[in-house]
Structure 1
Amino acid sequence: MKPKQNIKVSLIQTHLVWENPKVNLKQFSRKLEQLYGITDIVILPEMFTTGFSMQPHGLASDEKVYKYLKDHAKKGEFAIYGSVMFQENNKFLNRGVFMRPDGSYTLYDKKHRFTLAGEQKVYDSGTNPVIADYLGWKFNLQICYDLRFPVFARNTQDYDALIYVANWPVPRVNAWDALLKARAIENMCYVIGVNRTGVDGSGMEYNGHSQVYNVLGQEFIEHPWENQNIKTVLLQKDHILKLRSKLRFLEDRDPFTLI
């Protein structure tokens, strides 16, 4: 597809039905259909088919979820990014899928597993950061707990935007707000964070606070956004290019290599 200087990004902030892929997929189909032909990218929460569950047996997605996303991406003429519990061979992954309308996709398996919930005992880890190219933009794909680790998001790939999809609970939502803003400022990029709402099967409460920040850490959405809704924002490539040219902070980074 032809590059675009300006792109529309839609954030779906919603409740998730605990460990019920069938109902969640039906719910997201209705929401995605509302966006057909009017946006460029749609962002869904982390584990959007189940909620943040440590019980993937019998619930984990397989490649059929790719077809589900492909069908909506093609009909809507937009890309979609979200994560699901995924079974591959004999292992489980918290897998991010960036699906384009032409059926091509980029996969990112969550690197930092949430040890407080025992995620490392259930799901295998990804390794490296993953960049998805779309419409002439570069998106760094991340998932929830990755947000706490700035070195992993370090902008050495000249990406344009960071995307975080999450199930980030109410008791720590202040950290979510602060860290999203920090990642935007330190990497001189747009940051898109999509969190869920409602209460999960473990009793954990979520109040959204999905947000988009620009290079200067300025919010796009009136804060706090805590209800179920869909918000669409316009991202402008010139905003990134002009400020990076004027404020050459990325050129002053300390050099080091991850091993």
Structure 2
Amino acid sequence: MGLPSVEGERRIDMTFKAAMIQLDIVYKDPDKNLSKVKDLLKKAMKDKPDMIVLPETWTTGYSEEVFHSVEKYGEYENGKIVNSLKEMAFKNKVWIVGGSIVEKDENGIYNTIFLIDRNGEVKGKYRKMHLYSAMDEDIGFKNGMDMPVFDTEFGKISLMTCYDIRFVELSRTYALRGAEAIIVVSNFPNPKLNHWRVLLQARAIENQLYIIACNRVGSAGNSSYFGHSLIIDPWGNVLEEGDEEESILIGEVDFEKVKEVRNIIPMYYDRRPQSYPNDILKVEKEGSCAEKNNR
């Protein structure tokens, strides 16, 4: 098998500037958080980024208390939060990866990222697939099922949310479908900074793509958060890293490097999927590590 296809819509430029808003989320106060995001986005636009990235559950914070009351915070796609993001994107002519919000629809409630283009249109969305049962996230939300790859003017991007980075199957699926960058939104807590760095560098190296990862700072419930948002290139080099304060982290991404790295190390050509057992990704539930009480 050769390189994943990176064909898509015609590209204007294969480089872009990303601005990650490393937000100190006001716990369970969507209105205050929206006001903060508007102010910080205005500051970020002084550097003329092509894309703004927000952290996970930025309207509420992330906690068992939130997960057990998601009905209170859930909004439909045409609600106040998404409409506000669309207005900001259109006004500033900037792409927005809208962190994640509590999305409600007729089938349930999801932890959802909305991708919004420069024209203020929803390009698509990703619903968090892997829910963190240790904190009852799976009690409040339904698992997402789709693994979309989005064509943009820069190249192909995909989205992941926090706990997703521990599951190699998702990032590899994205890469095989042509993704050149994965944008991660997160509420990754203390004391797991080493996990954060190592997991994200591994996802970049093993899939030969960029990782753009936005984490929050501050605290919610019984958890505190270290920030350290990251931009990592396909070699695993950390190009930009934030600190532990509320801030805006800005860096540039060059998708030409993805092609370069994949040509130097022809990993996708050298894969042998025909030799891998069909059940390699399956684990029997009973009597295995997949049981919740054995986690």
Q: TM-score range by the shorter chain?
A: over 0.9
Contact 1:94 1:110 in 2 (8 A): yes
Post-superposition shift, 1:2? 5.3
Identify the range of structure 1 (57-66 vs 206-215) with the bigger mean alpha-carbon deviation.
57-66
2:150 and 2:243 map into 1 onto residues whose CA distance is 27
Residue deviations 1:95-144 (CA, integer Å, cap 9, x gap): 11111122132111110001111111110111131212211411111111
Q: Which runs of 5+ in 1 are unaligned?
A: none
Paired residue total: 257
- Specify the alignment match of 1:49 in structure 2: 59
Is structure 2 residue 230 aligned with structure 1 residue 211?
Answer: yes
Deviating 4+ runs (over 4 angstroms): 256-259
Post-superposition shift, 1:231? 1.2
2:236 and 2:107 map into 1 onto residues whose CA distance is 42
SS in 1 for 2:134: helix
> Which one of the candidate residues 67, 74, 99 is aligned to 1:60?
74
- Specify the alignment match of 2:32 in structure 1: 23
Contact 1:36 1:75 in 2 (8 A): no
**Match runs of 1:1-259 below 5 Å:** 3-36=12-45, 38-52=48-62, 53-54=66-67, 55-62=69-76, 63-64=78-79, 65-81=81-97, 82-89=99-106, 91-102=108-119, 103-154=121-172, 155-200=175-220, 202-222=221-241, 225-255=243-273
SS in 1 for 2:157: strand
2:268 and 2:61 map into 1 onto residues whose CA distance is 36
Contact 1:144 1:168 in 2 (8 A): yes
2:107 and 2:144 map into 1 onto residues whose CA distance is 15
Contact 1:220 1:233 in 2 (8 A): yes
Residue deviations 1:49-70 (CA, integer Å, cap 9, x gap): 1111312122122222221111
1:251 and 1:90 map into 2 onto residues whose CA distance is 40
Post-superposition shift, 1:3? 2.3
Post-superposition shift, 1:199? 0.9
2:140 and 2:271 map into 1 onto residues whose CA distance is 36
2:42 and 2:150 map into 1 onto residues whose CA distance is 23
Identical aligned residues as a percent: 28
2:23 and 2:11 map into 1 onto residues whose CA distance is 31
Counterparts in 2 of 1:249 and 1:2: CA distance versus 1, 3 Å: closer
1:167 and 1:136 map into 2 onto residues whose CA distance is 27
Letter in 2 for 1:240: V
Residue deviations 1:154-186 (CA, integer Å, cap 9, x gap): 011121101110111012222111100000000
SS in 2 for 1:57: helix
Q: Which runs of 5+ in 2 are unaligned?
A: 1-9, 283-295
SS in 2 for 1:45: coil
2:272 and 2:161 map into 1 onto residues whose CA distance is 25
2:70 and 2:176 map into 1 onto residues whose CA distance is 34
Contact 2:110 2:142 in 1 (8 A): yes
2:122 and 2:187 map into 1 onto residues whose CA distance is 26
Tell me which structure has the larger Cα radius of gyration: 2
Letter in 2 for 1:72: M
